[in-house]
Structure 1
């Protein structure tokens, strides 16, 4: 089966930006794009964010798909889901087995934090699956060449998702930096421990892999301090089940980075 990237779209700017980004990832990954639009009763209904978007008729959705597909290279599939967005994604995942889920994050300056994280939370609850969240606005998209992997120093496994990370790193041939955030001074051995936790996954890491330790009172603050567009193109977070199985997700490291990161965030659910 040809690999695919499942891109959630509502035909608005944030979703279009995520699609543009996914289109740059598809060629090196050898993947096709699958566009999914979930009708009005989904949590990604644009009106949930702006309160201004009109209801989309079936004809409007068809025209939206045609406009998007016309500008995309390579094979593209489009489908309409119904009901809650997490349920629609779960059904699409069962059908397509995509490499990644891709969705856009609207500019959250005027949007409550709870609303920004609701969709991500519901998706991770229903479908613990590799999810790439692309912030809007984002400069001209390009395949990431500088990737930051943030770990917490505790043992973890990714199960079947380890293959996703392996495929991504092999395809992108990106420069990799593994970082761990600690309170107080950040000794060099902490950086080595962070690297070892990633090596334990059996990944063939590039020779140019770097390590870094950061001192911060809160892990999310340390990650966001490092994950700047001038240094990195993407940040990978290892999210533990406790990060998204309850309402505490809204206050978790994963949620804060998803809300505030200026670069795309790939969330990989860990197994414990």
Structure 2
């Protein structure tokens, strides 16, 4: 089966930008695109009942899909899902088995995190899978410098390990492991543990550009990660189940970086 990227679209600017980014990325890694528009027409959808969901006709949707796909350089299959976004993405992912789910993110820095509801957060909680979230201002370039933020705990990506390693290999990107700690002592010991953790997964074995490391002392892990993004093309997070399944999801490192990163965020759900 050919490698594919599942791209979510609602035809607004953030989604269009994410699609353009996915088109660039797909060309670099030899993937095809699956473009998914979700018609939120379920009577059980809370936002459908509130009247806050756009109700486009099938004819308009077909025209819009045809319009955006004509602009792509990558082979693409377009389809329409129904109901709530997270469930529709889960169904499409089950069918297409994409390497990544790609979606856009508008700037929400002026809003408290607790008031922000995004498809990315809902998808992570419903059907965790590798996901690339592309901010509106992200440059449309192939990522060559990746910042991999790790804590001091071991992790496993399970069946996603091979796909992630293939992504790293085909991008030929320089990978920098970042560990953030509240003081220098914890930073040093945590960095050693983070390196051990990634070596056990096999993700860093024989990387073409080698593995770089960086320790950063910062009051919060999320703040440290965001402070380090300026030199990189994308940030990679390993999200543990507690990061997206708990009631305090909006307070997790994963959620905070997803909502505020100025560069694309690749989220890898751990087992």
| TM-score computed with the length of structure 2 as normaliser | 0.91
SS in 1 for 2:142: coil
Provide the residue aligned with 1:223 in structure 2: 225
Provide the residue aligned with 2:35 in structure 1: 35
Provide the residue aligned with 1:259 in structure 2: 259
- 1:121-140 → structure 2 map (5 Å cutoff): 121-139=121-139
Mapped to 2, the partners of 1:110 and 1:64 lie a distance apart of 30
SS in 1 for 2:235: strand
- 1:109-124 → structure 2 map (5 Å cutoff): 109-124=109-124
Q: Is the 8 A contact 1:128 1:269 kept in 2?
A: yes
| Residue 206 (structure 1) aligned with residue 205 (structure 2) | no
Structure 1 residue 111 displacement after superposition? 4.7
Q: Is the 8 A contact 1:7 1:19 kept in 2?
A: yes
Provide the residue aligned with 2:104 in structure 1: 104
Structure 1 residue 116 displacement after superposition? 3.5
Provide the residue aligned with 1:247 in structure 2: 247
Provide the residue aligned with 1:157 in structure 2: 156
Q: Is the 8 A contact 1:181 1:219 kept in 2?
A: yes
Change (3 A) 1:256 1:117: farther
Structure 1 residue 270 displacement after superposition? 0.5
Q: Is the 8 A contact 1:181 1:213 kept in 2?
A: yes
Provide the residue aligned with 2:73 in structure 1: 73
Structure 1 residue 161 displacement after superposition? 1.3
Q: Is there any run of 5+ residues in structure 2 with no aligned partner, and where?
A: none
Q: Is there any run of 5+ residues in structure 1 with no aligned partner, and where?
A: none
Alignment size in residue pairs: 263
- 1:167-186 → structure 2 map (5 Å cutoff): 167-185=166-184
Structure 1 residue 100 displacement after superposition? 0.1
Mapped to 1, the partners of 2:15 and 2:91 lie a distance apart of 20
Deviations 1:202-238 (A, max 9, x none): 123334321011111211011111012xx10000000
Deviations 1:84-125 (A, max 9, x none): 111101110110000000000012145553353442222112
Mapped to 2, the partners of 1:256 and 1:128 lie a distance apart of 17
Q: Is the 8 A contact 1:117 1:259 kept in 2?
A: no
Q: Is the 8 A contact 2:17 2:136 kept in 1?
A: yes
Query: 4+ runs of 1 displaced by more than 6 Å?
Result: none
Q: Is the 8 A contact 2:131 2:266 kept in 1?
A: yes
Provide the residue aligned with 1:236 in structure 2: 236
Structure 1 residue 54 displacement after superposition? 4.7
